[in-house]
Amino acid sequence: MTLRILFAAPRRLWPEFEGPLNRAFARAGIVADLSPECDDPGAVDYIVYAPRGTITDFTPFVRTRAVLNLWAGVETIVGNPTLTQPLCRMVDPGLTQGMVEYVVGNVLRHHLGTDRYIRPAAPHWDARIPPLASERKVAVLGLGVLGLAAARALVRLGFDVTGWARRARRVSGVRTRLGPAGLRATLSGAEIVVTLLPLTPATENTLDAESLGLLAQGAFIVNPGRGALIDEGALLAALGSGQVGGATLDVFRTEPLPPDHPFWADPRITITPHIAADTRAETSAEVIAENIRRDLDGRPLLHLVDRAAGY
């Protein structure tokens, strides 16, 4: 049987993903007609999807067994009322490794205070010795696949890590907190905060004026999660008062970040253009193929999205 698989992602991605997906299907024993074109929605078996692609209405895809998202985040699709098919988010080993490297690199940068040597305002000899990692309190907000991987990497480096999650987690070397009280406990006295929460109505503006006020004076923020996790006005005010010493931001409410946005003018903010962790075609293709193979074999889909939770 030949499966009809629609590549419903932005057309610019087709040359990057066509070869890896077809090779992964062949290795999995899947005979597939993979195409970015669709003349008969009712004949499509699976949809490989990414935001700003070719579909907004899933109603005609009556035969489609699953929608397989290419990105980790699903906030742009999970609330689509026409989407009744199972939705799977991307959990890609390459994406996870990229996120770990971004988080560890920037946590170490803030921990060691290297910016004061790289970008000095004037010649100076600043011989302050940073504390050891074990003396540095790091908070990781979100203990999903990416948050867990980042927290474990920071623990291996010796950091004092506390994590906050919606569900109970048991992570060696990481104190885990739950609920609103747990969030306060996680942030209280934290010197570096890493935000890797999914974006839902419950997580928007997790870092607001109140929560930023719980941090240690001069704390640093690393946000490779979602831009709307942070109240932008509250962050700028906290930077202005010195409550927050600096922020490394990879994600924003509007992308690309507008040239007149005040973040560009604040020297305490480092802006990276949503490059912390990207979906790699070769590794993500294996995930897509494995999920289709599992579904065909009658096994549960991996990384199935909880519509009620939003991720």
Question: What would the pLDDT profile of 54-93 be if each residue is shown by its tens digit?
Answer: 899 999 999 999 999 999 999 999 999 999 999 999 999 9
Distance CA 283, CA 165 (A): 27
Four-point Cα dihedral 110, 116, 119, 121, nearest 10: 140
Residue 170 pLDDT exceeds 90: no
- Is 307 marked active-site? no
For residue 105, which amino acid is it?
Answer: G
pTM of the model: 0.93
Residue 120 pLDDT exceeds 80: no
pLDDT digits (tens, 9 = 90+) for 222-231: 999 999 999 9
The fraction of the chain above a pLDDT of 90, given in percent, is: 91
Helix (H/G/I), strand (E/B), else coil: 97: helix
Distance CA 176, CA 224 (A): 20
Quote the strand ranges of the chain, DSSP E. Answer: 3-8, 32-35, 46-49, 66-69, 87-88, 137-141, 160-165, 174-178, 192-195, 219-223, 244-249, 269-271
Residue 99 pLDDT exceeds 80: yes
Catalytic residue among 63, 65, 175, 274: 274
Q: Which domains does the chain have, with CATH numbers?
A: 3-92+279-296 (3.40.50.720), 95-271 (3.40.50.720)
Whole-number average pLDDT of the chain: 96
- Is 274 marked active-site? yes
